[in-house]
Amino acid sequence: MVTQYGIKYAVNLITAHFGDLVAKVCECLLRRGPLTLQAIVRSTELTSSQVKNSLLVLIQHNCVQAFILDQTGEHGDGAKQSTQYIALFDNIIQRWRFPKFLTMVSKKLDKQCVELLEGLLQHGRLTLKQMFDRAKSGQNEGDDVVQEAFVKLLNAHFIERCPASEPVLTNPTKEEEAARKRAAKSGKILEVQETLEQRVVEAAMPTEALRFLFATETEPTADGGKDKSNSSSVTLGEKRKHDAIESKAESGATDEQVVLWRANIDEFIRHLRHKACIENVRARFDDGAVIVFGAMLEATRSAEKKVKTENSVPLSLSSIYEEVIKSEEGRNITFDRVRASLVQLSCPPFVKAANESYSVDFKKIIELAQHEEVESIVLKRYGRDAYRMFRLLSNSGHLLETDKVADATFVEKKETPIILYKLWKDDYLQLEKLQIGVKQTPFQLWKVNKSTLKVHVLDEMFHAAFNLSQRVAFELEQEKELSNVLQDKRVNRLRKRLLLESSQMKLDDAIMLFHDF
Amino acid sequence: MNAKRKRPDTISDSVTEQERIVHEVIQSKQDMGISQQDIKREINLHSNLIAKCIKSLVSKNLIKEVKNIHSRRQKHYMSAEFEPSNEITGGAWYVEGSLDKEYINVLKEQCWRKIYGLKVATLEGIADAIKRSNVSQIELSKQQVEEIVKALVLDNEVMEVRSTGTGEFASIPVGKACYKCAGKRGYGGEPKLGALASIPCGVCPQISRCTPDGMISPITCEYYKKWLEF
């Protein structure tokens, strides 16, 4: 979802990291959608060379993707192919989260892995040789240490091969368009239509088999993966391996030299999504339930096909128990306690049971967390009566008349419309009027439209995140100007910055909840 | 003057013709009653004359003044033989035309405590528990208990769940609605503060007018200034 303040926030990030020129090109693409080079030049009034250099920087850092749109003519005449550039909003806003990704790797892996990842995040994409060179010039570490860290990161899927530079995207055929329109008319529920950004990213991505493949001329590196899908070593058949090595030998290139690698943002977001779900469980249930829930996520993470998966892969009770007792905190948990925790976790239904298997309902957990976030805003901004009214309308899911709202929430009939109007004026509610009879005052019916509200709240969050970053920049400037002031004022300034930065972190978690999860 | 108590549906000779007309209009509205303004709309008499008739009818105990929660400023009148309907009194939760918030809050806390004690409770269970422990004379109908419990759900103090028939729901038929205390906090605690709500922008009434270079901006914001000066 790209909202108005989402764009401002993204452009602010790019400006901070790459300067005004690159940000101007990026903003042009974010506001106007995919464009050719010539169109960007015309729109930004920059020189062709400035636009090209900016695009190179943005592509290097995975913020823009080039693609070719194959526009076959209607009457079967020659296909038109033009290279266009699309801003990857989802990737741009991840840039703020790099410190969170590094912290994650420092907890799960080792210092060398953190340093390697840091290089990839700083430079956007690197070949293995570039990683070796960087390590030598910096930490003075040998190639084998770097390669070991590389393989660890690859096995954990924290890094991946870079996407294709200019994938070809075809427009949907007439038959596909017609089928989509028919299904929409008949009211059948369709999968959410992919945005163009999603289609381009998907078209550019290497196949799943290739994405985490590390092929060298030597014997495969140690496979630390748990299962086949986790293996980063050569899994090609012998003949194919032989062919691949031969062709590289002919071109004189190895993976080290030609294959570009980058951080796999999807995997980091998946980990953060799981972490958020665990925190939600911790707020409602006891420690035993938290351990069981965490074990279920650990056991099924590698089987998740996409980040925004709605349910985890089903597990039997005994599989869950085996996973629970692997961890230190779960070692003393009994089989019966695991079963009891699973019953606990079914109310609210964070875990679903079917045919003696259990799966995590991510969609439910995230929806509940989103509702709580919005309700918290309503409570703080408009008060307790409004909070009750909002929850009533949100839970009922349909239109309710003013007096019904007053009765159910125990608010005076005269005060109720005043509160409802305030919520409606700020786009938290929808209002419909129903006229019965000519002389009678129309009935007022109220409703929460969850999908439009989610977009509205997300935009407010981006606005708040943008404001926080502006204020942090302002406080930093003040600090520089007052560098010679008394110690206690400097301590005060430091406290302000800490408060602002911790608020930024917390708000970013909420943005992920509404946008990335 | 006739000393006998007048039958409600007859008008004595002491009532004037205009008073009779006004009384008939009021009587026709039965337990809904009518305001002076609406009487004027129905019959073509001067306001002063209507007011005089109303005063006389009240003094003769033929009509009475009642509270209407929909229009608390205007006086509302009803023929003496009727009792005001719930629609104008507001029902059991209204006293003298106003919501009895203190009474409602006491009942809410009582219901919550019963649910907390029972761990999982049906509406019947809660109603029984209140009846058994209730030291006052107040009797709550099942509908009233339901209204209070549903208000607790809206306050996020209690959650509604469906019985699975097993475990803690063992004594409750499968599928029946029951109630549990929500979360780990006690009664009346605030729900967890969200990320946006914990910063000035989240509660700011001017957020839609705030821009980086505008009169209202994060740099000049008074709410930010107060928040940072802790």
Say if the Cβ atoms of B196 and A376 lie within 8 Å: yes
A216 or A381, greater pLDDT: A381
Say if the Cβ atoms of A408 and B150 lie within 8 Å: yes
Is the same domain home to A441 and A466? no
Measuring CA to CA, which residue among B215, B223, B206, B217 is closest to residue A469?
Answer: B217
A454 contacts chain B (CB < 8 A):
no
Integer Cα distance of B90 and B76 in angstroms: 14
Integer Cα distance of A374 and B156 in angstroms: 14
**Token pair in block for residue A184:** 């929409």
Choose the final residue of a domain: A42, A60, A89. Answer: A89
Q: With 80 as the cut, is the pLDDT of residue A167 above it?
A: yes
- Partners of B192 on chain A (C-beta within 8 Å) are 283, 372, 376
A439 band by pLDDT with thresholds 50, 70 and 90:
low
Kindly report the CATH number that applies to the domain delimited by B100-193: 1.10.10.10
A391 or A182, greater pLDDT: A391
| B184-205 average pLDDT score | 86
Q: The tokens 């607790």 sit on which residue?
A: B152
Q: Note the pLDDT of residue B205.
A: 84
- Looking at the domain assignment, is residue A174 inside a domain? no
Strand partners of residue A434: A443
Task: Tell me the three state secondary structure of residue A116.
Answer: helix
Integer Cα distance of A457 and B74 in angstroms: 42
Q: Note the pLDDT of residue A484.
A: 62
B135 or A85, greater pLDDT: A85
Strand ranges in A346-448 using DSSP code E only, listed in sequence order: 351-354, 357-360, 400-401, 430-434, 443-447
% of residues, chain A, pLDDT over 90: 61
Element of type H or E holding A236: none
Q: Note the pLDDT of residue B42.
A: 87
A5 band by pLDDT with thresholds 50, 70 and 90:
very high
- Looking at the domain assignment, is residue A14 inside a domain? yes
Q: With 90 as the cut, is the pLDDT of residue A136 above it?
A: no
| A140-163 average pLDDT score | 89
Is the same domain home to A272 and A344? yes
A488 contacts chain B (CB < 8 A):
no
Say if the Cβ atoms of A408 and B198 lie within 8 Å: no
Q: Note the pLDDT of residue B213.
A: 86
Residue in chain A closest to B230 (alpha carbons) equals A496
Residue in chain B closest to A506 (alpha carbons) equals B195
Say if the Cβ atoms of B196 and A507 lie within 8 Å: yes
Q: Output the average pLDDT for chain A.
A: 85
Phi, psi for residue A372 in degrees, rounded to 5: -60, -40
Integer Cα distance of A442 and A421 in angstroms: 15
Is the same domain home to A469 and A444? no
- Looking at the domain assignment, is residue A115 inside a domain? no
- Looking at the domain assignment, is residue A48 inside a domain? yes
Q: What is the 8-class DSSP label of residue B83?
A: -
Integer Cα distance of A178 and A200 in angstroms: 22
- Partners of A466 on chain B (C-beta within 8 Å) are 212
**Token pair in block for residue A371:** 């509702």
Integer Cα distance of A499 and A110 in angstroms: 30
* Minimal CA separation from B154 to chain A, in Å: 5
B94 or B220, greater pLDDT: B220
One-letter amino acid for residue A42 of the chain: R
Answer yes or no: are the C-beta atoms of A333 and A318 closer than 8 Å: no
Sign of CA dihedral A280, A282, A284, A289: positive
A245 band by pLDDT with thresholds 50, 70 and 90:
very low
| A185-212 average pLDDT score | 74
Is the same domain home to A11 and A67? yes
B-facing residues of A in 336-365 (CB < 8 A) are: 340, 343, 346-348
- Say which of B99, B101, B218 has its CB closest to residue A471: B218
Q: How far is CA B174 from CA A343, B164, B166, in A?
A: 15, 5, 8
One-letter amino acid for residue A491 of the chain: V
Which residues form the domain of A443?
378-448
B102 contacts chain A (CB < 8 A):
no
* Minimal CA separation from B14 to chain A, in Å: 38
Q: What is the 8-class DSSP label of residue A219?
A: S
Interval A76-121: pLDDT, tens: 555 567 899 999 999 999 999 999 999 999 999 999 999 999 999 9
- Looking at the domain assignment, is residue A179 inside a domain? no
Start-end of H helices in A216-334: 238-251, 255-258, 265-284, 287-300, 317-324
Do the domains at B17-90 and B100-193 have one common CATH topology?
Answer: yes
Integer Cα distance of B25 and B62 in angstroms: 13
Task: Tell me the three state secondary structure of residue B93.
Answer: helix
The mean-pLDDT minimum among A87-101, A439-453, B7-21 falls in B7-21
Is the same domain home to A427 and A463? no
- Looking at the domain assignment, is residue A270 inside a domain? yes
Interval B75-119: pLDDT, tens: 889 999 888 887 787 777 888 778 888 889 989 998 999 999 998
Q: The tokens 């008939």 sit on which residue?
A: B24
Residue in chain A closest to B154 (alpha carbons) equals A388
- A463, A474, A495, A497: best to mutate for the B interface, most B CBs within 10 A: A463
Give me the long-range contacts of A177-185 (CB less than 8 A, separation at least 24): none
Residue A282's domain is classified under what CATH number?
1.10.10.10
Supply the ipTM of this predicted assembly: 0.83
Element of type H or E holding A85: strand A80-87
B-facing residues of A in 71-100 (CB < 8 A) are: none
- B72, B74, B199, B206: best to mutate for the A interface, most A CBs within 10 A: B199
Choose the final residue of a domain: A89, A106, A124. Answer: A89
% of residues, chain A, pLDDT over 70: 83
- Partners of A376 on chain B (C-beta within 8 Å) are 191-194, 196-197
Sign of CA dihedral B80, B84, B89, B92: positive
Q: Note the pLDDT of residue A114.
A: 94
Q: Note the pLDDT of residue A247.
A: 46
Answer yes or no: are the C-beta atoms of A64 and A86 closer than 8 Å: yes
One-letter amino acid for residue B69 of the chain: I
Rg (CA), chain A: 27
Q: Residues B25-50, buried b or exposed e (16+ Cβ, 10 A)?
A: bbbebebebbbbebbbeeeebeeeeb
B185 contacts chain A (CB < 8 A):
no
Strand partners of residue B218: none
Q: What is the pTM of this model?
A: 0.83
Cβ contacts of A474 within 8 Å, gap of 6 or more: B218, B219
Q: With 50 as the cut, is the pLDDT of residue B1 above it?
A: no
Largest CA distance in chain A: 89
Q: How many CB atoms lie within 10 A of CB A71?
A: 13
Q: Note the pLDDT of residue B218.
A: 92
Can you spell out the DSSP letters for A137-179?
HTT---HHHHHHHHHHHHHTTSEEEPPPSS-EEEPPPHHHHHH
Number of domains in chain A: 4
Measuring CA to CA, which residue among A329, A364, A326 is closest to residue A345?
Answer: A364
- Partners of B191 on chain A (C-beta within 8 Å) are 372, 375-376, 379
Q: Note the pLDDT of residue A506.
A: 94
Q: Note the pLDDT of residue B89.
A: 79
Measuring CA to CA, which residue among A252, A249, A259 is closest to residue A211?
Answer: A259
A468 or B188, greater pLDDT: A468
Answer yes or no: are the C-beta atoms of A262 and A129 closer than 8 Å: no
Answer yes or no: are the C-beta atoms of A400 and A393 closer than 8 Å: yes
* Minimal CA separation from B197 to chain A, in Å: 5
Q: The tokens 């050719």 sit on which residue?
A: A36
| A35-51 average pLDDT score | 95
Choose the final residue of a domain: A406, A426, A448. Answer: A448
B207 contacts chain A (CB < 8 A):
yes
| B15-41 average pLDDT score | 90
Q: Note the pLDDT of residue A249.
A: 44
A262 band by pLDDT with thresholds 50, 70 and 90:
very high
* Minimal CA separation from B108 to chain A, in Å: 11
Measuring CA to CA, which residue among A396, A385, A510, A400 is closest to residue A459?
Answer: A510
Q: Note the pLDDT of residue A186.
A: 54
Percentages (nearest 5) of helix, strand, coil residues in chain A? 60, 10, 30
* Minimal CA separation from A496 to chain B, in Å: 6
- Looking at the domain assignment, is residue A324 inside a domain? yes
- Partners of A410 on chain B (C-beta within 8 Å) are 93, 99, 101, 104, 151
Q: With 50 as the cut, is the pLDDT of residue A233 above it?
A: no
Answer yes or no: are the C-beta atoms of A39 and A102 closer than 8 Å: no
* Minimal CA separation from A90 to chain B, in Å: 20
| A286-299 average pLDDT score | 94
**Token pair in block for residue B90:** 């507001």
**Token pair in block for residue B138:** 């107040």
Q: Using CA atoms in the order B149, B152, B157, B162, what is the torsion angle rounded to 10 degrees?
A: 40
Strand partners of residue B98: B95
Integer Cα distance of A244 and B157 in angstroms: 64
Number of A/B CB contacts below 8 angstroms equals: 129
Answer yes or no: are the C-beta atoms of A354 and A379 closer than 8 Å: no
* Minimal CA separation from B81 to chain A, in Å: 27
Q: What is the 3-state secondary structure (H, E, C) of A424-445?
A: HHCCCCEEEEECCCCCCCCEEE
Residue in chain A closest to B184 (alpha carbons) equals A284
Sign of CA dihedral A240, A245, A249, A255: positive
Which among A191-200, A418-427, A440-449 has the top mean pLDDT? A418-427
Say if the Cβ atoms of B191 and A507 lie within 8 Å: no
Answer yes or no: are the C-beta atoms of A108 and A254 closer than 8 Å: no
Answer yes or no: are the C-beta atoms of A399 and A311 closer than 8 Å: no
- A380, A401, A468: best to mutate for the B interface, most B CBs within 10 A: A380
Interval B176-193: pLDDT, tens: 999 999 866 778 777 889
B130 band by pLDDT with thresholds 50, 70 and 90:
confident
Interval A308-317: pLDDT, tens: 899 999 999 9
Q: With 70 as the cut, is the pLDDT of residue B206 above it?
A: yes
* Minimal CA separation from B196 to chain A, in Å: 6
Q: How many CB atoms lie within 10 A of CB A401?
A: 13
Answer yes or no: are the C-beta atoms of A365 and A280 closer than 8 Å: yes
Say if the Cβ atoms of A413 and B151 lie within 8 Å: no
Q: How many CB atoms lie within 10 A of CB A508?
A: 20
The domain locations on chain B are: 17-90, 100-193, 199-230
Would you state the CATH architecture of domain B17-90? Orthogonal Bundle (1.10)
Integer Cα distance of A510 and A507 in angstroms: 5
One-letter amino acid for residue B10 of the chain: T
Interval A405-437: pLDDT, tens: 999 999 998 899 999 999 999 999 999 998 877
* Minimal CA separation from A43 to chain B, in Å: 24
A43 band by pLDDT with thresholds 50, 70 and 90:
very high
